[in-house]
Amino acid sequence: MYSANENRYERMEYNRCGASGLFLPKVSLGLWHNFGSVDNFENMRQMCKTAFDNGITHFDLANNYGPVYGSAEENFGKILKKDLGSYRDELVISTKAGFDMWPGPYGNFGSRKYLIASLDQSLKRMGLEYVDIFYHHRPDPDTPLFETMQALDSIVKSGKALYVGISNYNKEQTKEAMAILKELKTPFIINQRRYSILDRHIEEDGLKSFAHDNGCGIIAFCPLEQGLLTDKYLNGIPQDSRVRRDGRFLKESDITEEKVAKLKALNEIASKRGQTLAQMALSWILKDDEVTSVLIGASRPSQIEENIKLLGHTSFTEEELKLIDDITYNRI
C-alpha cells in the first residue's frame, strides 16, 4: 500500500492563487499526454506518486484528455482508488470542458447543457463527488458568455466544484467573464493559458499583468513547448521523440535551423546558471509574482524529479533576462 513521503511539503513551494484562499504548488502535473488508454498504467501510477511525494498536490485534467477521450480521467480515477484516494483532502484536482467530447451539438463549446453534463461524466470517471477547480476550456463565440458563466456558478452551488476557472481566454474575455462571475458571487480564481519563453502572448495582450492586478491566478501550460525547450532537439530529432511518435502537437517542420539556433543559445545561458534548458525555461515563467503555477507534463517519473530542481532558482539577473529576450526576438 502506498504511503506518501513524510517530507513532501518541504520539497515544494506554494503560491496563493489570485485573491483566493487556495494555494497551488509552483509546479503542477498535467495529464494531457501519457495518461491515455494507449499508455502504460504502472508508469502513470509512478508519475503521480513521484509528483505527490515531492509536494505536487495539483493534478490537472480535462474531459477529452487521452487518447481515447476520457481515458486520462479514468486512469487517474484508478490511481486515486489504488494510491492517492486516502490523501484526497491534500489534493487539488481540476478538470475542464469546452472542446469536442461526444458527437452531436451538445458535446462541445460552452452551453449550460454541455458543461454540466460533461462534469457529471468526469466525476463518474474519476470516482469523485467534486473537483477542486472546474474550467471552461475555451471561449465559445456563439453561446452567450453569461450562460457559460452562469453554468459555472451553478456547478459550484451544486457542490460539484469548489472553484471555477477559464482557459484560453484573452485579456478582454477574461475581464468580461470576471465581471459576470463577480456579480454572481462565484469563486472564480484562475485562467490557464499557454506561456513560455517562445510564446509570450499573455504578456503581449496584457493578460498577465491584468490578472495579477485583479486577483486572478495564472497557470501556464506548454511551458516547454511540447519538448522544444529541452535538450532533446539540440542535435537533431531523436527517433523516440514525440515528433516521430505523434506529430500532432509538435511537427518536424517546427524544428527549423533558426529555432534550433535559438535553443542552443538559450541552452548556453542555462548551462551558465547551472540548470538544464528545461529547468531554466520553467524558472523563467516563475521569475516574478504574476504566475501562480507552471504546468508540466512528463513521460516518466525522473522527468518530474528533474523539473522540480528549478525551485529556489527562479531569480534572474537583468543581463540574463535581456539576453533571453534578445534571443527570443531575434535581436542578436
For the stretch 199-248, pLDDT in tens is 999 999 999 999 999 999 999 999 999 999 999 888 866 656 556 556 56
For the stretch 43-63, pLDDT in tens is 999 999 999 999 999 999 999
Q: How confident is the model at residue 67 (pLDDT cuts 50, 70, 90)?
A: very high
Task: Give the type of residue at 235.
Answer: N
The model's pTM:
0.95
Beta bridge partners of 25: 14
pLDDT for the residue 245 = 55
pLDDT for the residue 247 = 56
**Residue 126 and residue 80 in contact, taking contact as beta carbons nearer than 8 Å:** yes
pLDDT for the residue 255 = 79
Q: Average pLDDT of 54-79?
A: 98
Grid coordinates standing for 165? 476557472
